[in-house]
């Protein structure tokens, strides 16, 4: 398979924070369009691995590639321009603006093409895209509400719309269902399942139902190491996974 078909490739990646080795010699590949969930108990190194992929901080050792190009030394902005989008644990929303206005801002100047020389059609096109994105995340009727008045779940849905506004090739979500009600969880699964097939999805999720429903493949992290990967069925049947969660003090 040509390397451009590999959306993300990590080779022997290590991350130390002082004396703590948070990620230990992790190698993994995610194919373009693949849906991969990362699971593991608290402190396993999942978010750190995300940050290394996004370029939030440098690796201590090893290399990171996106679509066949080594990006190990690239900053987050460069990786974002090359098609990587992610949501953050802490909200980056403009609380006093409406949901639609937040998405409008996230769109920036992208995707306008030759029509950008005609300001009116350019604006209309952007608002159409805003409406599409709000619809995608299940917020089509909430566009005019201020972010401050949205529920926690709706705010997380809006963050997803904003990540999608960048038209990403790779979407990374760190615990998107945190704080969600059961109904919101099912909505999230439906939304992730309905994402365009060419988007590569990397998901960290403590809710095992969501992690296994959405994924083609699951990677299990434990104590900084990748200890297992397999299909959702293989993970469901795995004694190793059961042992980790029973013995690992999983929240």
Q: Which is nearer to ligand ATP, 6 or 173 (CB)?
A: 173
**CA distances (Å), origin 162, targets 43, 47, 125:** 28, 20, 16
Supply the minimum distance, in Å, between the C-beta of residue 42 and ligand ATP: 3
11 binds Mg ion (CB under 5 A): no
Supply the minimum distance, in Å, between the C-beta of residue 223 and ligand ATP: 9
**CA distances (Å), origin 144, targets 91, 95, 96, 150, 160:** 19, 13, 11, 11, 17
Q: Which is nearer to ligand ATP, 43 or 111 (CB)?
A: 43
Strand partners, 219: 38, 229
Q: Which long-range contacts (CB under 8 A, 24 or more apart) does 12-19 make?
A: 12/61, 12/62, 12/63, 13/49, 13/52, 13/59, 13/61, 13/62, 13/63, 13/64, 14/59, 14/60, 14/61, 14/62, 15/45, 15/48, 15/49, 15/52, 15/57, 15/59, 15/60, 16/60
43 binds Mg ion (CB under 5 A): no
Q: Which is nearer to ligand ATP, 26 or 107 (CB)?
A: 26
Supply the minimum distance, in Å, between the C-beta of residue 45 and ligand ATP: 4
Q: Which is nearer to ligand ATP, 17 or 118 (CB)?
A: 17
Supply the minimum distance, in Å, between the C-beta of residue 31 and ligand ATP: 23
223 binds Mg ion (CB under 5 A): no
Contacts with 182 (C-beta within 8 Å, 6 or more apart), sequence order? none
Q: Interface with ligand ATP by CB under 6 A: which residues?
A: 17, 20, 22, 40, 42-48
47 binds Mg ion (CB under 5 A): yes
Q: Which residue is nearest to Mg ion (CB)?
A: 47
Supply the minimum distance, in Å, between the C-beta of residue 241 and Mg ion: 18
Residues forming contacts to Mg ion in the complex (CB under 5 A) are 47
């Amino acid at each position: 398979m040509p390397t451009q078909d590999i959306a993300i490739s990590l080779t022997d990646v290590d991350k130390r924070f002082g004396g703590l080795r948070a990620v230990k010699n992790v190698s993994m590949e995610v194919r373009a369009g693949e849906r991969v969930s990362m699971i593991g108990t608290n402190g396993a190194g999942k978010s750190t691995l995300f940050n290394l992929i996004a370029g939030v901080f440098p690796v201590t050792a090893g290399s990171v590639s996106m679509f066949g190009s080594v990006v190990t030394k690239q900053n987050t902005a460069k990786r974002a321009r090359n098609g990587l989008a992610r949501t953050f644990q802490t909200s980056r929303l403009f609380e006093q603006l409406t949901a639609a206005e937040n998405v409008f801002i996230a769109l920036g100047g992208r995707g306008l093409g030759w029509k950008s020389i005609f300001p009116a059609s350019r604006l209309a096109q952007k608002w159409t895209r805003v409406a599409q994105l709000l619809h995608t995340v299940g917020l089509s009727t909430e566009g005019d509400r201020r972010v401050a008045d949205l529920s926690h779940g709706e705010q997380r849905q809006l963050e997803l719309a904003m990540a999608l506004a960048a038209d990403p090739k790779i979407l990374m979500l760190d615990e998107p269902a945190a704080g969600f009600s059961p109904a919101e969880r099912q909505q999230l699964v439906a939304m992730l399942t309905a994402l365009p097939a060419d988007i590569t999805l990397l998901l960290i999720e403590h809710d095992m139902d969501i992690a296994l429903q959405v994924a083609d493949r699951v990677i299990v992290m434990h104590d900084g190491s990748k200890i297992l990967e397999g299909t959702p069925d293989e993970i469901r049947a795995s004694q190793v996974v059961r042992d980790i969660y029973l013995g690992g003090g999983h929240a």
